[in-house]
Amino acid sequence: MPRPRSLTRPGIAAAALAVIDRAGLAALTMRSVAGELGVATMSLYRYVADREELEALVVEHVLAGVDLSVPPGDWRDQVTVLLERVREAVCEHRHVVPLLVRHRHAVPASLSWIEAMLTVLDGAGFTGRRRVLAQRTLVSFVIGVLQNEYHGPLAGAGTAAMAELSTADFPLLAETAAQARGVSAEEEFHEGLRIVLRGLG
């Protein structure tokens, strides 16, 4: 009788991510990941307690490769680099966005990224409550951008529908939505971040 296949947590995370990328977040189950790995579902429970832990493994896997080094220079440029890298890592696996929101406080790679952000802010003279609010604002910004790109991109149907609203009833909304349709996701991210950093500075 062949020995049971040996699994690793990184391998399980990669298989879970493959399921999510292919079929969406709703497809993520212990059974579907076991199928991806070619093992019995019960074998998976020797390594992962439940779906909650499986989700956290996926977030760790996505963020683990994010480079936390920053170039010398202005703190705004350093913050921009760290935010860009997280956005790029997550955008490669867009269905992971809700998991990032849910598990960012728990996975080591996310905590290391937050520590890197705080190190930059500390070096720029942000201390105490000011550092708390700056960090919270930056995290809120990048999560908001990712959620907007995932749930309601400017190039999506929602913006198109708002652009067609009656200008008699919604003059500014219709006009703004029409303009928004020409704004790329890259421009939305970078211009929005410049506004936030200018305010923090």
Q: Is residue 29 a contact partner of residue 51, using CB atoms and an 8 Å limit? A: yes
* Placement of tokens 């909650």 in the chain: 52
Q: How far is CA 193 from the centre of its chain?
A: 15
In the chain the domains, ranked by start, together with CATH numbers, are 9-62 (1.10.10.60), 65-200 (1.10.357.10)
Residue 3 has pLDDT above 80, yes or no: no
DSSP 27: G
Please report which confidence band the pLDDT of residue 5 belongs to, taking 50, 70 and 90 as the band edges.
low
Query: Rounded to whole angstroms, how far apart are CA atoms 92 and 87?
Result: 9
State the CB neighbour count (10 A cutoff) for residue 35: 15
Whole-number percent of the chain with pLDDT over 70: 98
pLDDT at 2: 39
Q: Name the token pair of 120.
A: 């930059």
